[in-house]
Structure 1
Amino acid sequence: MDDEATDPRAHTSEPMPGTRSIERTLALLRELSHRGDFGWRLTDLAEQVGLDRGTCHRLLACFVREGFATRYPGDVKYYPGQQLFELGLGMPMYHAFRDRIEPRMDRLSRATNSVASFLLRSGEEMVCAFQRHGDLELPGMLIRIGSRRPLFSAVGGLVMLQRMPADQAQRILDNNRREEVERRGTRRLEDLDRMRARSAQAGYGLTRGDLAPGIWAIAEAVLDTTGQPMGALTLAGSESTLTEGWLAQAHAQLAETVQDIAADAALCLRAPG
């Protein structure tokens, strides 16, 4: 059986008949939810999800009424609403998973003098679910909790693509590249291709300032019980403090922690009953 036929994380870019309005609404919720600290201006959010301004405004007004979005006095932006938090309370297995892996991430972050991030696969994208900084702050770091990115656009996603069957990975890569060009044009493609080539040569996710100048990062995939990547763990630091010698040592510690997290996921994220 095709793995994607039963994988709830898999999706196609083509809407199913009769579901276009639902998929449009869900796309808007996804984009809204990943900028909790910064919010969205109506025009920017409409452009991001490919909606006309009027349709986006009507949907957001509904979200505000129902508690899925919020606005603050004197602020023109839209932010995630309390209902999104409340919905997450119904998934205690993810809270248990977080409680198990965040101490591991904290120890790894401090031992390697880097920021540790756990990225969940979400179809052809990834979302930063947990992050531990230790004593380090990286102002130029692009990934924050709630950040959502196409898989091919960061080392965590690249290593997940490396661990997938080749045809599946190529299909996602092609879709990611097409969406990148539609949304941003071609200006980042050379940098993205360089990061992907660097990661392929290393055998794990690796960047040396390819997208964020001065930021180095490595990543390893966390596999589920079927051998499919369900997430990735990344370490990011500044090139001013990290060295070539750091890469080998940090990768060994990263790989060991990833094995522990895979065991945590198998324990916590199993079917009820």
Structure 2
Amino acid sequence: MPLTTTGDLVGRAAAARGAVGAFNVITLEHIEAVIAGAELAGRPVVLQISENTVEFRYGRLLPLARAAVAAAERSSVPVALHLDHVISDRLLRQAPDAGFSSVMYDAARLPYADNLAATCAAADWAHAQGLWVEAELGEVGGKDGRPPLDAHAPGARTDPRQACAFVADSGVDALAVAVGTTHAMTERTAALDHALLKRLSGTLGIPLVLHGSSGVPDGELTAAVAGGISKVNVGTALNAAMTAAIREYLAAHPRAVDSRTYLAVGREAMARTVASLIAVLDPAPGA
């Protein structure tokens, strides 16, 4: 079916008090696995390509983006394409022509005033192109000169009052908040600050996004969705599933050289992971 938009998927999820799964893809096998897992679960899904992945692919966005679009158009479930953790304005401006309906503009590393100014400029441009815009707000630095904490640094928490002002002034469509997750976790041990999430959800009036969700147990994810999270980003869990499956296959087949054999195993492991996580986020059948 034709590409859908991230804004539509997140909006519908938020209205139903559910969440849409958004999975970071690096290779064609990732793309195929995410769509296969979503089809198995019978749910919509967001394919995400990050700026780090673009850098890995020799700085070229279009080859992977076009593969994602082609795969999405052959999917039996709705699929949207999202450009994730964009720092470069040059990359941001490639999004509309590459099939993306949304971007996550990441200026959270900057002091608050600079983050706001950069995000405002990015959102103004992106909205003029019809893009849905997600931003991120970590923990603002203190008066003693502490730098701002990245939204997923240990101990970082988003302040509801600061977040309310940021959303109102920037005009973004969704906000990724710091409530206890950390990027690149390989064990599912994160404990979320649900009281803070409840305050943020009750204050901001726009969809909230959970980054670093690979380290969050199923029960915590369920509670996060109930508490107001409408989009859940996952990346490391796919890579962990793929790597473990390939490792096991090669250990059992030490003479294997055909990459299709072990990539197929890795792709299937990722698809199972996607299906399992999507079912946690939205247990009701249907897209």
TM band (smaller chain): under 0.3
TM-score, length basis structure 2: 0.27
TM-score normalised by the chain length of structure 1: 0.28
